[in-house]
Structure formats: C-alpha cells, structure tokens
Amino acid sequence: MVASRQLASVAGMVLLLLASALSTGCATRDAKPQDTEREMDIEPTVVGYDDYRDPLIHLNRAVFRLNDVTYRYALIPLSEAYNWGVPDPVKSSIGNFFYNIKMPIYFVNHLFQLQPEGMGRNLLRFVINSTVGLAGLFDPAAAWFELERAPTTFGDTLEGYGVGYGIYIVLPLLGPSDARAGTSLVVDYFLNPVPYLLDQPESTAVMAVDSGQRFASEAPRYLILREKSEDPYLFFRNLHLQGQLRNAEY
C-alpha cells in the first residue's frame, strides 16, 4: 500500500510537471482577454542569438514538433472553449485563487533571495486575501491596501546568485525551457502546498487546472506568432532566450 502511494505520488509529480508549464511555451502574463485584438498586430521580431546554447537542437526540434501538434489540436481548442465559455470575472477569480494558494513558493524564494520586503508583502497579501478576499477569490490586498503581487520562482533565486540558464531544452508539453528553469519547476513543485493538501490524483488535477487557466490567455498569441514566423522553432527559442538574457549577461 505504501509503495503504491509512493508510486502514485511520483506519477502525479511527473504528470504535474508536464501540465504545470502549459503556459511556459508562450509567456507568463496574467489572463487579459481584452488583449487578443491588440495581439493581432504582433510581429515576430525577436533578436537572434549567435551564441545560443542549443546542443540538443535535433532532439529539441522533434519535441517542438510534437508539442506544436498537441497545442494546435488539443490544448488550444480547450483554451478557446474556456475563454469563450467562462465569464471574465470568473476567470479573474480563478487566477486570484491559484496565485494566493501558491504564496509559499513566493515567500520561500524571497527568503532565499534575502528580500524581507517581498516576504512580508506576500504574507500580508495571503492573510488579507484568504480572509477578506474569500479564500483568495478576490484581491482586496491590491485594491484596498495597494499591496501588489510580488511573484518569484526558484529560477529567479538561481539567477540572483549568478547561475546561468545552462542549455536550451524543449520539454514535452512544457515547451521552451532550460536547465535553470527546469530545476525551478522541480523545486517550486515541492514548495506548492497543493500536493500536501490533497491526495493523488486530486492534487494533479487541481494543479493542471491552474496551468490550463494560465495557458488559456496565451493560446491566441501562440498561434499568431507561429503563423508569422518563418521558422517557429527558432523564433520561440530566441523568444525564450531573449527573456532569459534581458536582465543579465552571461
């Protein structure tokens, strides 16, 4: 029985890591359905890099093709149905709830980064939004007390200590990633309270819903950028590396 539960836990973590970054293949913005029309004017003009670290390019291209088919024929249609069928206020509350419950991720990483202001902000937000905000469905911490979100990840922690992104990797379903971001996924998984509050497979299902609602806002953007880029693989690789290198030099 114990072995079965351990196996289920490991399987659940693998499934979750596959589901948790459905949004990473596109971007990490909050859901803003009103941006869709504006994004129709997006042009794929990211910077190209001569010194990229992509030693697994052939494998990465194969995984990218698999992801692309999965996105276009499964995940994006589901996202479109979600965007069409769920009212914006409900989507906002869902996003608020999942952000609120992941407070330990932000709190601990601010601790690792020696940022007490970020720790305090996240703790105060959690207390206010978990009570007055009805379990995090609403965000009175920002609306009433001007305590804006302060998210951070273990990837940010590693970057702050001078750890480079390593090599570029395309993960199944997860999309564009790298060694540092992959490590962050694993560490932040163990900082997420959901696996400790729910058994399998419920915890995996809940966290997959979180990933799905974040991915939904980026689904139209993925299609637009893919259609406008001559080589989608190179474009999304350069887009990822541009984000990693924007605020640091390696």
Residue 149 covered by a domain: yes
**Structural domain span for residue 133:** 49-245
Cis peptide before 201 (omega within 30 of 0): yes
Residue 12 covered by a domain: no
**Total domains present in the chain:** 1
Maximum pairwise Cα distance, the chain: 55
* Burial degree of 215 (CB within 10 A; 0-12, 13-18, 19+): buried
Residue 20 covered by a domain: no
Residue 39 covered by a domain: no
Q: Which residues pair with 178 in a beta bridge?
A: 168
CA distance 146 to 179: 35
Residue 194 covered by a domain: yes
Residue 6 covered by a domain: no
Task: Output DSSP code: residue 48.
Answer: P
Residue 72 covered by a domain: yes
> pLDDT by residue for the chain (250 residues), tens digit each?
444 444 344 444 444 444 444 444 443 333 333 343 333 445 555 555 556 789 999 999 999 999 999 999 999 999 999 999 999 999 999 999 999 999 999 999 999 999 999 999 999 999 999 999 999 999 999 999 999 999 999 999 999 999 999 999 999 988 999 999 999 999 999 999 999 999 999 999 999 999 999 999 888 889 999 998 899 999 999 988 888 777 565 4
Residue 158 covered by a domain: yes
* Burial degree of 1 (CB within 10 A; 0-12, 13-18, 19+): exposed
CA distance 184 to 139: 26
